[in-house]
Amino acid sequence: MIRLGIIGFGNISTTLLTLLKDVLEDPLEHLTIVCRPEYESQVNQIMREDFNDVALENSITSNIETLINNKPNLVVECAGHDAVTEHIPQVLSAGFDTVVASVGALADAALADSLYDAAHKGKARLIIPAGAIGGVDLLASLKKHGKLEVSYRGIKPPAAWSGTLADKLMNLDHLSEETVIFSGSAREAASNYPKNANVAATIALAGAGFEATKTELVADPNATGNIHEYSVNCPLAHYTLRVESLPSSGNSKTSVTTVYSIMREITNRIGPIVI
Ligand SMILES: NC(=O)c1ccc[n+]([C@@H]2O[C@H](COP(=O)([O-])OP(=O)(O)OC[C@H]3O[C@@H](n4cnc5c(N)ncnc54)[C@H](O)[C@@H]3O)[C@@H](O)[C@H]2O)c1
């Protein structure tokens, strides 16, 4: 049994809670949800109606101090880049291990430094999940050898790019073929497309870094889901990994594999086996 804190109550959190209902043998000891103040009563109602049995005790709040006072064993951020800036330095420096889903936020070097300092100060761990992609274990291992060449391509249907910079650059509704909407470094991708470049950021952090990770973002009217592919070349090994994932039902920008990866971060902290 663990005490869990979740920051954000959108698509990832609610899908995650639905999965936890199925996979947990025993309820969590305690669950804190941190949401925006204006959603508190709505979140309370949804928790009561749909997720009451995920934990023995629930606490819904918009105040991060409440989460800290509830002493979670693990905190999961799934709220967005602003929430990383607003809450995570405080949570880490208070000593609580935190899984950050909005990995692209770490492309901001000053914010990344403040998170590392906070984790150091609090003797806590900043945990970067594999998220929508896999194979990050091998990439992070090969990083120790160095001399990595890494390129990433993220392909999503045009609708997944709506409301992003691409929407201003082209008419997404009228694309008839695969169209590259961005080509450059993982750092530029993460700052220009914050909601769509978390995978680029994860690969960059695991491997060759934000500047050296070549990134292409693509809108494809024929894509039925979100496709992430990356290639790694180094003197020890080379591999290409391609994941075709369904989008989450609640947010076409988010691949559903992300939610399963975050679930694994939780279940790996329960029970005798970590894999
Ligand atoms: N690592 C990955 O591979 C990956 C993949 C997809 C998405 N993500 C990240 O996960 C984040 C969440 O995704 P989602 O699909 O659940 O988005 P979503 O928009 O459905 O949900 C986000 C929720 O967080 C809430 N929120 C925003 N700021 C907050 C704050 N300061 N405090 C508390 N709550 C706050 C919003 O009200 C919303 O309910 C995305 O913003 C993205 O950065 C990561």
Query: 3 pairs with which residues across the strands?
Result: 30
| Residue pLDDT, tens place only, 108-153 | 999 999 999 999 999 999 999 999 999 999 999 999 999 999 999 9
Ligand 1 centre distance from Cα of residue 146 (Å): 33
Pick the atom of ligand 1 nearest to 202's CA: 1
Q: How far apart are CA 130 and CA 104, in angstroms?
A: 13
CATH 3.30.360.10 spans which residues of the chain?
136-254
What is the edge-to-edge ordering of all strands in the sheet holding 74-77?
58-61, 30-34, 3-7, 74-77, 98-100, 126-127
In the CATH scheme, what is the code of domain 136-254?
3.30.360.10
Q: What phi, psi does 104 have (nearest 5°)?
A: -55, -25
Q: Which of 203, 204, 200 is nearest to 181 (CA)?
A: 200
CATH superfamily of 3-127: NAD(P)-binding Rossmann-like Domain (3.40.50.720)
Radius of gyration of the chain from its Cα atoms, rounded to whole angstroms: 19
The answer on pLDDT for 77 being more than 90 is yes
To the nearest whole percent, how much of the chain has pLDDT over 70?
A: 100
Question: Mean pLDDT over residues 91-97, rounded?
Answer: 98
| Residue pLDDT, tens place only, 161-202 | 999 999 999 999 999 999 999 999 999 999 899 888 899 999
To the nearest whole percent, how much of the chain has pLDDT over 90?
A: 92
Pick the atom of ligand 1 nearest to 34's CA: 33
CA distances from 6 to 14, 50, 266 (A): 10, 16, 11
- Is 206 within any annotated ligand binding site? no
Q: How far apart are CA 124 and CA 94, in angstroms?
A: 8
The pLDDT score that the predictor gives to residue 229 is: 97
- Is 198 within any annotated ligand binding site? yes
Catalytic residues: 228
Q: What phi, psi does 220 have (nearest 5°)?
A: -130, 115
